[in-house]
Structure 1
């Protein structure tokens, strides 16, 4: 699945897809409430009101760069707080290669934030050690985000994620810490979008008069556009995440901007009273 924004091509590489089983992350998104939002069906929910979500990476190709945005769960990882996320053995890298993106062809890895399902393929297990998966790439982390998890990874699962998927990149000299509003290249600018995590960033793509927005986890699912106060259980600051959603969606609503989420596919944001809708054919 891919989209074009001017001269920039965005390709989604899926690691895992789910239907339902999402109440642990969005407890207020009951089947009954989702059925009240018919615009979610069929792209983002089933007729029964079960949410459709994915864990994926986005490969962003500009005229000069080949960037992987977020790297999913990874293989062989342990200490995760979701049982099915441990000791995974999936052909994700083979899928990437088959799509035309062998790991060595990637020159930049950009993480919107440093949660477990966005950093896993930063590293792979080789000879009993965690080594950078994308050997030719520089890894771009938000400075605020990195410093927070370096200094505040107290819970065992957070420690495991940092130690196997973030710290080895820094130790290998591959990490570049940047401001949350930095310009990555001519077509790509970062937008600070804190709340889900302290240094969370979204990605604005502009090329040939067209625009795209990679939101990361500002929203885990488009239902949060209708219910801005439905914060995720993983949000570090639920009130701030709700305010960030309102600000970001207000900025891009009713524009031609193509919006792609960290766990859902592309559409456009439209105002709907005091909130928003996410419309595929808009």
Structure 2
């Protein structure tokens, strides 16, 4: 059972964009806006012509040239007496094959602390999947080595996800990511692997992991529930709102594109026209919204953040 650590919890100095889900306040902790070339690389099917068919994507989710906007951020929240971080972004000072991620120098940790979530106060880090841009702040550089950024936290990942990467023949860039961002937390005894059944796994009051495979075999979304309100943090089962309009648009790095599409369609159909707030792990501001039926598929009805 994950328990609350005893480190003090500072009050926010600079409020972060936030959404209320019952008694749970979900804060977006920004890392970096991704460069314009990210969209064509990541979602090659989202051409300007495709974007033009959904005018609601502009100006928030696509620019004037109908190029997708994407971002790297994480979500911080308190639920069930735990201080929780969902994913950890790209990280600083790490050698990466993607030039946009290589040797970053962002103020992410400052933003996290200013929002009231000092690293030592985090109880639980949920890793939706083990991709480079979701695990980077697992560790930080210290005296020539990589040490856990959140030393009092348990880091949670799906066992299927771990088993897949343990068995696959990884390219060097991915091996490097495991060396600097995954293996150190395991070596420190902080990594917990869980089995997520088809109907989800409740890991704390108000927090359920929902299996959303396809992008990776063990990709999970995170469902929040409090006082009759619900929300879902996507991970990478949905990269961008354009995939609501065209669920068949695949990510360039989906391991099983057909399964990813089936997962996405099923998830969107279940969320459509409900009051469940969708929080996109790579959606640019306004980041969140309600899924609404639109023509033969869906659209996102944005819900602006407040500062908290």
Does TM, scored on the shorter chain, surpass 0.5?
Answer: yes
Match of 1:50 in 2: 67
Give me the whole-angstrom Cα distance separating, in 1, the residues matched to 2:209 and 2:80. 18
Question: How many residues end up aligned between the 2 structures?
Answer: 281
1:10-57: per-residue Cα shift (whole Å, max 9, x none)? 000111113621211011111222122111122211232121111001
For the pair 1:168 / 2:184, whether they are aligned, the reply is yes
The answer to whether the Cα contact below 8 Å between 2:76 and 2:86 also exists between their aligned partners in 1 is yes
- Among candidates 261, 270, 274, match of residue 292 of structure 2: 270
How far off its partner does 1:112 sit? 0.4
Distance 1:153 1:111, change over 3 A: farther
Match of 1:196 in 2: 215
The answer to whether the Cα contact below 8 Å between 2:291 and 2:300 also exists between their aligned partners in 1 is yes
Match of 1:70 in 2: 87
Give me the whole-angstrom Cα distance separating, in 2, the residues matched to 1:108 and 1:251. 28
- Among candidates 123, 126, 131, match of residue 115 of structure 1: 131
How far off its partner does 1:274 sit? 3.0
* Consecutive unaligned residues in structure 2, runs of 5 or more: 1-16
For the pair 1:226 / 2:245, whether they are aligned, the reply is yes
How far off its partner does 1:281 sit? 5.3
* Consecutive unaligned residues in structure 1, runs of 5 or more: none
How far off its partner does 1:150 sit? 2.1
Task: Report the RMSD for the aligned CA atoms in angstroms.
Answer: 1.4
1:111-131: per-residue Cα shift (whole Å, max 9, x none)? 100100000000011111111
- Among candidates 37, 44, 55, match of residue 27 of structure 1: 44
Q: TM-score, normalised by structure 1?
A: 0.96
**Equivalent position SS for 1:23:** helix
The answer to whether the Cα contact below 8 Å between 1:153 and 1:162 also exists between their aligned partners in 2 is no
Q: TM-score, normalised by structure 2?
A: 0.88
**Equivalent position SS for 1:33:** helix
For the pair 1:127 / 2:143, whether they are aligned, the reply is yes
